[in-house]
Chain A
Amino acid sequence: MNANYDVIKKRLEAILEPESFMHKEEEIIAFECDALTYYRVKPVFVVLPSTNRQVSEIIKVCDEYDMPFVPRGAGTGLSGGALPVDDGVLISLAKMNQILEIDIPNRLVVVQPGVINRSVSEAVDGFGYYYAPDPSSQIVCTIGGNVAENSGGVHCLKYGVTTNHILGLEMVLPNGEIVELGGKNQEYPGYDLLSIVVGSEGLLGIVTKVILKISKKPQLVKTLFASFDKIENAGSSVSGIISNGIIPAGMEIMDNTCIKAVQISVKAGYPEDAESILLIELDGPTAEVEAQLPIVENVLRENSAIQIKIAKDETERELFWKGRKSAFAAMGRVSPDYYVQDGVIPRNKLAEVLTKTKQLSEEYGFTIANVFHAGDGNLHPLILFNSENEGEFEKVERLAGEILRICVEAGGSITGEHGVGFDKKGYIPLMFNEDDLDTMQLISCTFDTKGLCNPGKLFPTPRSCAEHGMTKERALELENKVEGELF
């Protein structure tokens, strides 16, 4: 515990309204983990600032007393990115939840970081617009969390991920200074610092305002699925469609284990005996969608689709998507626990990688269900297990790690959208060598010389900045504390 505990407490209390400052065990327990609930750490303080000034003052106190701090949005992150530090402050942005400006002519919306992803689309829906990145968690997750993770969604094949929809932001640097990056124009002179901050997993500062690009709602949306008796055929349909010059809004593959679980939980109308299904959404101007649909159907038939079903109305369309979007939760119906993995592979390696994961599944004795953002090669293998059984979670972690190894060996990545966070930092060396990581450290040190902002995440071993900054010993000490809590 920080030797200056009492002083810091007093200083923070002076900055915040009483209900926005917490230090009692029963209050802070709700913040001890994100959606990766296997890791839990209690912070010393939890603060819920409502203005950028307050954020800045809080951070100045942290900086003065070398107290680490961790930003948090809604806590839906799946990689432990918002996992607190045991001698640090957890800064929740939940109270900074105002939409500040809607500017339709310039196609932008200015929000505070605690605004829920879906509320942005809702706010501009009446004007015929929406905010494109749509993670499945969009009814709860925050824009601040989306920016930190560079979140994707089921429509990112055509429309891109968070980084493609951010024009600018305001952030509080780890020394308390408030800066703006980018703005309302699409281009500014100088380095594109925005592209670094988006996806930096909360390591470079606290985002306090975001300027989002909004998009026009498509005139027509057509959703269909095709079932197959070989997952390879679903995979080659995906490349076939793209090769025909068509980029659908989304393409999702589910395997039989997934289909069955989904059918039990939401009855999405998927054929339960199918080995796999490919869900496709085409959207855009009517003239475009109507021209593309017959081409897509043709490709599916050429790839031996057993059944092709086009949603006949909005209700059926929503049902098809409900099945996909509840795929994670549906696992709860067939297994006490499940672990969500997030890896990426080149799209032509699908069959090869699935065969290998199947072997692993048999070797380790756990069922693996597969749902897959097929359009962009982003796999979500779901490992089914029971955490009550002694040692099972550790085994699952090893299996999940093996899957990442397979993804990287196939030429892919250890994460497509959930981030590295605390969970996967040990796997970073599969993709990046020391020289790559040293270069990334140059960026960390540009923003955070002391390493106080969300320490112990993203990078496998603690590093310090050249001049002042956290010593390696201190960083290691932090590390050990977290591990100590866990195992």
Chain B
Amino acid sequence: MKINVDDFTKFLSHENIHAQRSELLKFQVFNKLPSVAVYPESYEQVSEIVKYCNENGYSVIPFGSCTKVNFGNIPTTYNVALSLEKLNKILGHNEADFIITAQAGAKFKDLQDFLISKNQFVALDPPQIDKGATIGGIIATNDYGPSRFRYGTFREQIIELVAVGTDGKIFKGGAKVVKNVAGYDIHKLFVGSMGTLGIILEASIKLYPVQEESLTFITGISDAGMLRSYIKKILDADLVLSALEIMNPELSSDIFRLSGIRPINFPHTLVLRIENVRKAVIDQMELVKNMLNSGGLEGAVIENDNLLWSYLRDFPYAGDKNCIACKVSVMINEIPGVLEYIQEFSENLDIKIYSSAKAGNGIVQLLIEGENKDLEIAVNLLRSYLTTMMGSLVYQHVPHDFGKFNTWGDLGASSHLMQTLKQNFDPNNILNPGRLI
């Protein structure tokens, strides 16, 4: 579709309309480039742009910092890149009530750094925040990190959302209070909606007090049977863990090297983190040591653990590897079996797998490196294995030239409701068409 770039001057000043190929490259999604990239500076401008695109049938993809362009299916059409980069303000911090409000284009890291200076934080540790991941982008993709074990995902943290619908209406869901049941929870629906229902403008998020102390325990485990029994022991113990990850040797050797920890060579490396007031951390760590040591495991306590967790947070990071990054979701007690399966089948293929399991959430994050044809075999094998246990596998990154693929797999028994929802929110299918639905 030929789109009339000049029309955008009705809503935007010239410097906020980019149509040069060089300026558009960063908005490339797989093999598709937009005809124009726009940088609105106000909610009204976003509203006008979306309404105009809707009326003209131009498809729009919203962007924060472009850290996750290869997440989602290849868009069926793509005309306009809508950057939220200039809507990046922190709008309000109610320090006494532990709530912050920020615009979608605000960088998560800026927000977190600001809050930490006030001894508060957003209880999320999503990947790529050092590369500028934005609030809107993290909400849309439902990104999270290891602390999901204790604090959940953005769904648990978001309390209010302001967005623009395809008809240009600016609407909100939720309220700026930590408890509220008025109206439908539209703010939660938008978490993970991949920019397909509306353009997120602003979010209010609840905050937590910074914890006084953090300690991490690391130990190696030699087989799946032991892994199963230790996961159970840890989950059943009287401990409040912030995170619990099980890494495979490929990943643990990389991460330990980067964070300056002496590598241990075991099929599984278990890493757990405890954060709390100081005495509570120290006392609980004693319990962990006693419990695991009595089972014959030798472990180490890591004191300055921030670096280690920042590497785990950023995993899986594709970088310039030819790879697929994906996440697997199963029931909690399937995790040891899934890890065993992954280890076995990777040996028979010409691929390298890095994996980390969120053992308490039934989630495994994977980075599979290899040639496209081997990657394809690997993910197909994994997907068919997972169907036996009603598990899912979602791609978070695929190579540019991967060909045809389906990011989401089977959307399940309610997929027709999802279709209807999309149709109702976006009747002309202009928002990120094809990426999710």
Whether A245 lies near B183 (C-beta < 8 A) is: no
Specify which chain B residues have a CB less than 8 angstroms from the CB of A412 in the assembled complex.
175, 177, 180
Whether A164 lies near B152 (C-beta < 8 A) is: yes
Specify which chain A residues have a CB less than 8 angstroms from the CB of B280 in the assembled complex.
285, 287-288, 290-292
Specify which chain A residues have a CB less than 8 angstroms from the CB of B373 in the assembled complex.
none
Query: Which A residues between 436 and 451 are near B, CB-CB below 8 angstroms?
Result: 436, 438-440, 442-443, 445-447
A376 to B206, CA, bound (A): 11
Whether A420 lies near B279 (C-beta < 8 A) is: no
Can you name 16 A-B residue pairings with CB atoms under 8 Å? A160-B156, A187-B362, A187-B363, A189-B409, A190-B408, A191-B421, A199-B185, A245-B277, A290-B280, A291-B278, A347-B97, A348-B94, A412-B177, A419-B181, A435-B171, A439-B173
Q: Is A414 an interface residue (CB 8 A)?
A: yes
Specify which chain B residues have a CB less than 8 angstroms from the CB of A192 in the assembled complex.
155, 188-189, 191-193
Instruction: Work out how many contacts link A and B, with CB atoms closer than 8 A.
Output: 255
Specify which chain A residues have a CB less than 8 angstroms from the CB of B152 in the assembled complex.
164
Whether B171 lies near A348 (C-beta < 8 A) is: no
The stretch from A53-61, A175-183, A255-263, A381-389 touching chain B is: A175-183
The stretch from A92-100, A112-120, A149-157 touching chain B is: A149-157
Interface residues of A (CB under 8 A from B): 105-107, 128, 149-150, 152, 156, 160-161, 163-164, 173, 179-181, 183-193, 195-196, 198-200, 216, 218-219, 239, 242-247, 284-288, 290-292, 295, 344-348, 373, 376-378, 411-420, 428, 431-433, 435-436, 438-440, 442-443, 445-447, 458
Query: Which B residues between 84 and 142 are near A, CB-CB below 8 angstroms?
Result: 94, 96-99, 119
Whether B177 lies near A186 (C-beta < 8 A) is: no
Whether A185 lies near B171 (C-beta < 8 A) is: no
Whether B209 lies near A243 (C-beta < 8 A) is: yes
Q: Is B361 an interface residue (CB 8 A)?
A: yes
Partner of B413 from the list A179, A416, A439 (CB cut-off 8 Å) is A179
Partner of B212 from the list A245, A247, A414 (CB cut-off 8 Å) is A245
A39 to B277, CA, bound (A): 50
Which residue from chain B places its CB closest to the CB of A412 in the assembled complex?
B177
Whether B331 lies near A291 (C-beta < 8 A) is: no
Specify which chain B residues have a CB less than 8 angstroms from the CB of A290 in the assembled complex.
279-280, 283
Whether A416 lies near B179 (C-beta < 8 A) is: yes
The 8 closest A-B pairs by CB, nearest first: A287-B283, A348-B96, A195-B188, A291-B279, A291-B280, A219-B238, A413-B180, A189-B408
A412 to B170, CA, bound (A): 20
Query: Which B residues between 221 and 243 are near A, CB-CB below 8 angstroms?
Result: 232, 236, 238-240
Other A-B pairs beyond A193-B421, A292-B277, A442-B421, 12, CB < 8 Å: A150-B185, A185-B331, A242-B209, A291-B278, A348-B97, A373-B179, A411-B177, A435-B165, A436-B183, A439-B169, A439-B171, A443-B189
A181 to B414, CA, bound (A): 6
Whether B390 lies near A443 (C-beta < 8 A) is: no
Whether B411 lies near A216 (C-beta < 8 A) is: no
Q: Mark B147-185, 1 if CB is under 8 A from A, else 0.
A: 000001001100000000100011111011111111111
Q: Is B392 an interface residue (CB 8 A)?
A: yes
Which residue from chain B places its CB closest to the CB of A346 in the assembled complex?
B97
Which residue from chain B places its CB closest to the CB of A289 in the assembled complex?
B280
A60 to B192, CA, bound (A): 33
Whether B277 lies near A291 (C-beta < 8 A) is: yes
